[in-house]
Structure 1
Amino acid sequence: MSGGRRTRYGGLDLFRVAAALLVVANHTGPLLSFNGTANYLITDILARLAVPFFFAVSGFFLVPKLTEQGRSALWPFMRKCLLLYGVSTLLYLPLMARNGYFGQPGLALNLLRDLVLNGTFYHLWYFPAAVLGSCIVAALLRAGKGTAALPVCAVLYVLGLLGDSYYGLTAALPPLKAVYEALFLGFDYTRNGLFFAPLFLLLGGLLARRPEPARPGRCAARFSAALALLIAEGLLVRGFSLARHDSMYLLLPLCVWLLVQWLRALKVKPLPALRTLSTVVYVVHPLCIVGVRGVGKALGLLAESGFLLGNSLVHYLAVVAASCLTALPFLFWRRRRPKPPAPPPDPQTAPRAWAEIDMAALKHNISALRQHLPRDCRLMAVVKANAYGHDDGLVCRACEAQGVDAFAVATADEGVRLRLEGVRGDILVLGWTDPAQAPLLSRHDLIQTVVSADYACRLDAANVPLRVHLKLDTGMHRLGIPWDDADHIAGLYACQHLRIEGLFTHLAAAETLDGADEARTEEQIRRFYRGAEELQRRGLPTGKLHIQSSYGMLNYPGLPCDYARVGIALYGLLSSPGDRTRLTPDLRPVLSLRARVAELRDIAAGDTAGYDGAFTARRPSRVAVVSIGYGDGYPRALSGGRGVVLVRGQHAPVAGLICMDQMLVDVTDIPGVAEGDTVTLIGRDGSNEITAGQLARAADTITNELLCRLGPRVERIAV
């Protein structure tokens, strides 16, 4: 539900399946019929990436929550692991009984040891390891505030390493060997929740704090180099017969780190079905191994020359197929399971100030605006200034889901941030970018606006390929090349490194239908098309044409363009509530702004409150301290009763001066107000509503400015 910025994790989802198949390979030996060394490479080296990858992905999502929320974030993760562990254990009880598990001496002690450390079946050790490892990481983060966690986890891993792949060195030292032999009385392997899991959980959490890599190819090359070294290490361990159990290698943490970085760099949409598939395959594949062998026995295919069991690769593929088929009902159930609507934020647990972003309203607005576009004209969503305060990453992902594939930003930094968040459509930078940043534009596939002929030459001199749109100045007299300077414009097509893909202008007075403004706008439109026609007459491609912003689209519909650059209208608003437009699509406000009552104060008649005593109680009054201020973007101009909020569905005026972090509102006439109550500054509460336009008018500004000023302390929450 978070309105924070999210990255696409499709690459991680894809490798979950690969990791599950590697685990199956580890337990079936797919190349044993062909070459023992090749099989060792797959099952005892490459397949060792699988489980630490699973731990790292768990840590990727868990550790940041532990850092922010403390131990309260631990229980949901443990509950999920324990539930899966319990169901899996019940599933394998018949096999355990068949294998004589419950007839062994010392059953009670062995069962306790297996439940806590070893796993009740050979592959189920992952679940108790995840639980124990997460508890260790949580304790280290709490005790050392993160500074000591990594060294401690690294030491634990090295200790485990000496009881695993490098046990041959340990066994050469009798005192050390005796210590490990004592340890092995408590557990079978050191690849467990004490030595193995904590490091990979923590590495995943550290990766979550790093920016998403921008170059998948470079990440893949680094991972490949580390993997080659891991293979070399594994072959050395085998050559010198060092391993007691070959699950832990010195280079394994580095490989997992680089693997996850590479997968994060892949711009792939989330694939939640693959998470279900990989989990089911991991849990059920030993049952499928037994099932495949049972089929082979029933069909008389158990001999070495048998089709199912005589060929190890066929056996592996049969187990994979059986495991995937077993997962199908779970995938179908997951797909058919109804998704509950996102609940509204709980006033008692919501942040101090938050903006609710209505995704259904945004989707509706996209559809409503499209109905008024000319044929072959598409929306270009303007998401500059953090999507007018709505959270640009959140808005872009919603737009892409509705088929919008072109976006406009103000700066290169805004475009780069969207790329790092996984936005894949065209991104046009409307403003000036320092030519020294041309490599940044090229690397992130941003389209730069050419604002003058001289600027084009400076961009070209950077010697990197750039996609550009030319901006014509048709009367705004801000940025752009004079529309009638055809020779200079045509000369830009000779720039070797600039690929001109579009031509546009900006209308200066499209907001009003005043006679003089209409004439000025219509002249701009004529100039733009005359400039475009002159270039086309010279045989020069103009690329995508776009001239309309929100008001251009609403007041001058039907213009033959490739894009309509829609900003404020996309968010369900006009710049001023009284504006008249020729088109009046059914638009719905997307953003609601809310805060909380932090405290209540009773003020005697004649007493003052707030800075400079700006509020004087004319009667015994009750004021509520509200957890938002001008530091969050709520205008200070609304002080002294110019601003009004909703508390319990009723209007309450702002009392005194608005502070940086909070403000006072007079709730004397509203019964029952309590600490923690929701305060609505923009939006609906009960039968009453405060619109962004009303608030902007009271603050003597426009909705564009009002929303853009909402700061990062206001958490965006998708609803």
Structure 2
Amino acid sequence: MSANRSYGSLDLFKLFAAMLVIANHTGPLASLSPKADFVLTDIISRLTVPYFFMTSGFFFFRPRREGGAGKPPVKRFLSRIGTLYGVGILLYLPVNLYNGRFGSDSTAASITKDIFFGGTFYHLWYLPALIIGTLIVFGLRTWLPNRFVLAAAGALYAVGLFGDSYYGVTTHSAQFAGFYGQLFDAFGQTRNGLFFAPLYIALGAAFGSAAAGGSRIAPSLGGKKRYAALFAVSFCALLAEGIALHRYATPLHDAMYLAAVPAEIFLFALLLAFGGKSHPRIRYMSTTVYLIHPLVIIAVRGFAKMTGLQSIAVGNSIVFFAAVTVLSLLFASAIAILALRKSSPKAGGQRAWVDINLAHLDHNAAVLQSALPSGTSLMAVVKANAYGHGSVQIAKRLYGSGIRHFAVAEIGEGIELRKRGVKGDILVLGYTPTDRLAELVRWKLTQTVIHADDARRLQAHGGKFKVHVKIDTGMNRLGEQSDHDDEILSMYRHSRLQVTGTFSHLAEADSLDPHDIAFSRKQIDRFQHVVSLVWGAGLRPGMLHLQSSYGILNFPELAMDLARPGIALYGLLSSESDATRTKIELRPVLSLRASVSRVHVVEAGESVGYGRSFTASADTRIATVAIGYADGIPRELSERGGSVLIHGKRAPIVGRICMDQLTVDVSGIDRVRQGDTVTIIGEDGGERITAGEMAKRTGTITNEIVCALGTRASKQYQTEQRKRPGKKLVPGIHASR
């Protein structure tokens, strides 16, 4: 699972939780109602830190890939959180020194305990607790079966509970009081990484593992209502527990509550059900607000004292809270903008990257739409990661341009789009195994019925599915045979199948040879026969679609409801030599670039690369480029006259292409240096290398070249203003008889 899946609701609530932490430290209702302020700051706001722990556990222990495994990056985590903690210690060191915290009575043991458990400043305790709690859960998940991890973490929480909110119960037993006295001597309190953090981190990890395994929290309206109701019940229990403890017992602290556990579980489930687009800036802001808000509190108090506004700026608790919150958010927002801008990858500063020109995508969609009859809309084919272009970003851009129908190859691709917030109808073109059919309903996907027996399989499963019926008109790949009238009609009569479309695929649409055109016409006739058959039986075929990219360009007159452009949508044809009846200007959306990693001279007679396939006939300047066949570069390209562009000039590839790098001859190009940009596909100066050229050299089609581009090369999306030449992209229905 990727690190940045559609968990925007978690980001938004994390910022709200950071504001609740400010409330906890400013008492916003104190001047209005001490009782109300107690409920807000001593009970409600106590949900915030457990929530922080759960989100940390969720993202840290989540497998990196869907259904993947592997251990989390512990060293990187320790480095990141440890660095943040170190910054916090240094940031508040002047305040601590001013307050005399590290005075003459401090010992090495007390300072060590303070660093590992106290946080050195009252709100920094969360960071060492996060580190220790994560290490504990990591160890538990390593040595224990998952079902025992929560039990062990829960036992630790129970120990901590009676040293915190339930300490008043503990004091009734001298034996327990003595035990907790020893705990306090060793750890200061039980609100720390040993007793408090592990349970919530383990709960977050459990949610993360479930999500990665495909058992995502149900995002349906009913699911959301159920989680909201359960949260409301557990939240009321939390309020009752907190009030009762403070009335009838003597809490030592009020950080750990029993009812907080189910409240956090159902709150987290509810937020996951909402999903939404991730917000890296908000996530960064919430961490910054948590870290710096005590300094803002000090600054507001100091300013109020200097200006004589204490009665208003501090004495009025609501004004005090508002001032600290607004200033903290503004400061955090500025830091987030600068930090994320600095850390965002830039073209030319990486090993290898792909430039995606979304304005060209808009153009291609518009000119393809303009080639079609009025009333025919586009179904964008975004399978195979949108032919290597990035399916989520491509689909979202096209949806913003008015396209409402998308096609993918298999169910996993459709689920990925839904999880990342892609709307519209998504058609799964291929077979979906029986054990995954329920996911079609969960993620609101439309399934292709690939033959009559497949329709019976779907009907027998028990769910209610939206489907498109596939007709085999001569390709002999998928679909019910076009002359099997009874079988075809049976596919439309199943009670649990809602047929919303019927389609086929042209086998020779890319050819203008008369024999191939005749075969395509025969396929079209067969498809129209099936449509008439369905209508004649009093059934509805739904939306009709037959043309893919070449079908649009060579048979644009077909009045269907939808057309399914794939490769043409990305500004390419399968072969650059293909002639088409309709001439439109397609603009390549993708460019592939990499960096020069080394430049050196190979003397005459020396060889380059594996197998010494290239031997320099004279002294030759060789540039090593940080890209290889693992990134999708065909290995045979070096033997077929392949080249790259550097400083607007062609540099021939020499030596065998390696997994991670290739070498080029730059003897005829001046001033090539380490870090220079190399264009493998795209334009540089007046020169251009196309994916079609690369395909021709290696004996394949353009589709294979762009689909083979690996995931290592990051994608840079150029989000220029949309330009919509031709007709406006609007959805339409044209399935009338």
Instruction: Name the counterpart of 1:563.
Output: 562
Structure 1 residues 265-310: Cα deviation after superposition (integer angstroms, max 9, x where no partner): 32434578988998999969999x999xxx9x99xxx9xxxxxx9x
User: CA 1:107–1:225 in 2, change beyond 3 Å: closer, same or farther?
Assistant: same
Structure 1 residues 186-218: Cα deviation after superposition (integer angstroms, max 9, x where no partner): x8x865799867876787688667527151366
- For 2:458, give the aligned amino acid: L
Query: After the TM superposition, which of the residue ranges 607-616 and 425-434 deviates more from structure 2?
Result: 607-616
Equivalent residue runs for 1:127-138 within 5 Å = 128-129=124-125
Instruction: Name the counterpart of 1:165.
Output: 165
Q: CA deviation at 1:567?
A: 0.9
Instruction: Name the counterpart of 2:696.
Output: 697
Structure 1 residues 645-669: Cα deviation after superposition (integer angstroms, max 9, x where no partner): 2234432222233334433333333
Decide whether the 8 Å contact of 1:436 with 1:462 is kept in 2.
no
From 224, 228, 244, give the equivalent of 2:252.
Answer: 244
Decide whether the 8 Å contact of 1:406 with 1:427 is kept in 2.
yes
Q: CA deviation at 1:107?
A: 12
Decide whether the 8 Å contact of 1:5 with 1:393 is kept in 2.
no
SS in structure 1 opposite 2:512?
A: coil
Instruction: Name the counterpart of 1:470.
Output: 469
Instruction: Name the counterpart of 2:655.
Output: 656
Q: Distance in 1 between matches of 2:434 and 2:131?
A: 50
User: CA 1:634–1:439 in 2, change beyond 3 Å: closer, same or farther?
Assistant: same
1:215 is the counterpart of 2:213: no
Q: CA deviation at 1:594?
A: 2.8
Q: CA deviation at 1:634?
A: 1.5
From 238, 241, 259, give the equivalent of 1:234.
Answer: 241
Equivalent residue runs for 1:33-72 within 5 Å = 44-54=42-52, 56-57=54-55, 67=74
Query: After the TM superposition, which of the residue ranges 523-532 and 269-278 deviates more from structure 2?
Result: 269-278
Q: CA deviation at 1:627?
A: 3.5
CA RMSD of aligned residues (A): 5.5
Q: Distance in 2 between matches of 1:434 and 1:132?
A: 46
What's the TM-score, normalizing by structure 1?
0.74
User: CA 1:456–1:204 in 2, change beyond 3 Å: closer, same or farther?
Assistant: closer
Decide whether the 8 Å contact of 1:62 with 1:73 is kept in 2.
no
- For 2:346, give the aligned amino acid: P
User: CA 1:487–1:647 in 2, change beyond 3 Å: closer, same or farther?
Assistant: same
Decide whether the 8 Å contact of 2:134 with 2:198 is kept in 1.
no
SS in structure 2 opposite 1:534?
A: helix
Decide whether the 8 Å contact of 1:575 with 1:703 is kept in 2.
yes
Equivalent residue runs for 1:308-387 within 5 Å = 345=346, 347-348=348-349, 350-351=350-351, 353-387=352-386
User: CA 1:266–1:527 in 2, change beyond 3 Å: closer, same or farther?
Assistant: same
Instruction: Name the counterpart of 1:265.
Output: 273
SS in structure 2 opposite 1:441?
A: helix
Q: CA deviation at 1:526?
A: 3.6
Unaligned runs of 5+ in 2: 65-71, 106-110, 719-737
Decide whether the 8 Å contact of 1:623 with 1:668 is kept in 2.
yes
Query: After the TM superposition, which of the residue ranges 357-366 and 12-21 deviates more from structure 2?
Result: 12-21
Decide whether the 8 Å contact of 1:472 with 1:482 is kept in 2.
yes
Instruction: Name the counterpart of 2:426.
Output: 427
Q: Distance in 2 between matches of 1:154 and 1:714?
A: 43
User: CA 1:539–1:649 in 2, change beyond 3 Å: closer, same or farther?
Assistant: same
Q: CA deviation at 1:695?
A: 0.7
User: CA 1:463–1:50 in 2, change beyond 3 Å: closer, same or farther?
Assistant: same
Equivalent residue runs for 1:315-714 within 5 Å = 345=346, 347-348=348-349, 350-351=350-351, 353-600=352-599, 602-714=601-713
Instruction: Name the counterpart of 2:726.
Output: none
Query: After the TM superposition, which of the residue ranges 39-48 and 355-364 deviates more from structure 2?
Result: 39-48
1:10 is the counterpart of 2:25: no
User: CA 1:608–1:145 in 2, change beyond 3 Å: closer, same or farther?
Assistant: farther
User: CA 1:678–1:277 in 2, change beyond 3 Å: closer, same or farther?
Assistant: closer
Q: CA deviation at 1:366?
A: 3.3
Q: CA deviation at 1:428?
A: 0.8
Q: CA deviation at 1:383?
A: 1.3
SS in structure 1 opposite 2:546?
A: strand
User: CA 1:140–1:182 in 2, change beyond 3 Å: closer, same or farther?
Assistant: closer
What's the TM-score, normalizing by structure 2?
0.73
Decide whether the 8 Å contact of 1:451 with 1:470 is kept in 2.
yes
Query: After the TM superposition, which of the residue ranges 211-220 and 131-140 deviates more from structure 2?
Result: 131-140
Q: CA deviation at 1:382?
A: 0.7
Decide whether the 8 Å contact of 1:626 with 1:662 is kept in 2.
yes
Decide whether the 8 Å contact of 1:277 with 1:324 is kept in 2.
no
Equivalent residue runs for 1:84-233 within 5 Å = 126=123, 128-129=124-125, 161=161, 163-168=163-168, 171=171, 172=174, 175-176=178-179, 178=181, 210-211=211-212, 213-216=216-219, 231=237
User: CA 1:245–1:10 in 2, change beyond 3 Å: closer, same or farther?
Assistant: same
Q: CA deviation at 1:502?
A: 0.4
Unaligned runs of 5+ in 1: 94-101, 303-308, 310-314
Q: Distance in 2 between matches of 1:281 and 1:673?
A: 46
Q: CA deviation at 1:494?
A: 1.9
Decide whether the 8 Å contact of 1:5 with 1:421 is kept in 2.
no
Aligned length: 677
- The sequence identity of aligned pairs, in percent, is 39
Structure 1 residues 361-395: Cα deviation after superposition (integer angstroms, max 9, x where no partner): 33443344344444333221111122112222332
Query: After the TM superposition, which of the residue ranges 482-491 and 173-182 deviates more from structure 2?
Result: 173-182
Decide whether the 8 Å contact of 2:133 with 2:194 is kept in 1.
no
User: CA 1:323–1:73 in 2, change beyond 3 Å: closer, same or farther?
Assistant: closer
Q: Distance in 1 between matches of 2:543 and 2:680?
A: 40
Q: Distance in 2 between matches of 1:420 and 1:547?
A: 29
User: CA 1:626–1:322 in 2, change beyond 3 Å: closer, same or farther?
Assistant: closer
